[in-house]
Amino acid sequence: MINFLTIGTILGLSAGFAPGPLLALVISETLQHDIKSGVKVAMAPIITDLPIIILTLFILEKLSNFHNILGIISLTGGFVVLFMGYESIRTKGVELNLQKTKPKSLTKGILVNALSPHPYLFWLSVGAPNMTKAMNQSIIAALAFICTFYASLVGSKILLALLVGKSKSFLVGNVYIYTMRFLGLVLCALAFVLFRDGLKLLGII
């Protein structure tokens, strides 16, 4: 179970800190309004992701006997995580042009996350396969994975809202940049684990 706790935490932190539409919305809401507004937007994944998780788990359950397809999905997940790691390593900070942003709400935060392809790609190629493995071990392991993932994902965005609310320069500072680079290296290591699992399912190793 510790394995799934660790994976959930790493993936959640990486997704939470990574630059993207939802993070930009969290930051712009915080800077234009207040920290409370940024925190509300940070909660959007909890609302939007449940249907995505159910759908991807259903798809994988139907494919459970097709090892070749699962192997390809695992390899795809490896490339997705490797790309996330690469993007994290090359992060140079987050800059926003607030003059071009408009006031947004939790509803728009939900729309940004629901209409983004990233949650669907992540859950189909990375999240759901790990959930399936965890469920095969025990329901406790599955709960450990999903709870640590969302606690880390939402918690990191809330933390960023708090930090940005106190210091607008945080997102271009060394602490943020080096944190992202460290998480990027960890993600690259995780990607090779997914590559190994995919090759095993394909019978190559």
Determine the pLDDT at residue 11: 92
pLDDT of residue 145: 93
Q: Please check whether residue 193 lies inside any domain of the structure.
A: yes
Which residue in 1, 4, 122, 135 sits closest to 73, CA to CA? 122
Contact in structure between 185 and 89 (CB atoms under 8 Å)? yes
Examine residue 99 and state whether it is found in any structural domain, yes or no. Answer: yes
- Inside any domain, residue 205: no
pLDDT of residue 96: 59
Q: How many CA atoms lie within 13 A of 172 on its CB side?
A: 5
List the structure tokens of 151.
Answer: 């606690």
Check residue 26 and give its pLDDT: 86
The pLDDT value recorded for residue 105 is: 59
- Give the structural domain span for 103: 2-200
Across 166-185, b (16+ Cβ under 10 Å) vs e yields eeeebbeeeebbebbeebbe
Residue 156, class by beta-carbon neighbours within 10 Å (0-12 exposed, 13-18 middle, 19+ buried)?
buried
Would you say residue 139 lies in a domain? yes
pLDDT at 154: 94
**Tally of domains within the chain:** 1
What is the full per-residue pLDDT of the chain (205 aa) written as tens digits? 788 899 999 999 998 888 777 888 888 788 877 788 888 889 989 888 888 888 888 888 887 777 888 888 889 998 999 998 998 898 877 765 555 455 555 777 788 788 777 888 888 888 888 888 888 889 999 999 999 999 999 999 999 989 888 876 777 778 888 888 999 999 999 888 889 988 988 888 7
User: pTM to 2 decimals?
Assistant: 0.84
